[in-house]
A and B are shown apart, each in its own frame.
Chain A
Amino acid sequence: QVTLRASGPALVKPTQTLTLTCTFSGFSLSATGMSVSWIRQPPGKALEWLARIDWDDDKYYSTSLKTRLTISKDTSKNQVVLTMTNMDPVDTATYYCARIGDDYVTLLYYWGQGALVTVS
């Protein structure tokens, strides 16, 4: 059974760096074709894709946020970490992590419960 869970601080101050952790089970991120992404959703607004890391350590970032984001993985701990620098109140959102589907095509198939982060 695939599960993911996003965790991190509930409150951060403006200009601080946010570190979020996605802890997962039921798969290995070292398996060929595997991929985990981060997505966020401001209150009452649309979903926004942030970043993705693949099994071979390839990394992809949102064009608009790439200067502020770093994604990494710790295969031994079954975790993916996202850092976002220079936080601003507009970054207040629920942050989700999601895994690619078993078809290895659908990037955001399995979703975890999100972590609400408030910047204030």
Chain B
Amino acid sequence: EPEVTQTPSHQVTQMGQEVILRCVPISNHLYFYWYRQILGQKVEFLVSFYNNEISEKSEIFDDQFSVERPDGSNFTLKIRSTKLEDSAMYFCASRGAGGTYNEQFFGPGTRLTVL
């Protein structure tokens, strides 16, 4: 069964450093998302991406964040200069068209720890 994969599973970085979180969505999906969950809090929407551009972003997704689909398979989230409060679990999701158009399929997440 196709699945969304994410790497790394855990990333530890120093405050101020850049990090890139990687995702491989399901191959025939067209819509891509990043969410995050700070420990003990809700899963929050960050950004959606379609047709090689951002379709919607939340207020959390400021200038420090960017997303890219550098090739036909990867979808990345970059944080330019990490802050302590960026420590969270980051989930990638993808969505197709057709019968499951309404369903998002999630990866296992990347736990980001900013020291």
Asked whether A and B interact, the reply is: no
Identify the A interface with B (CB < 8 A): none
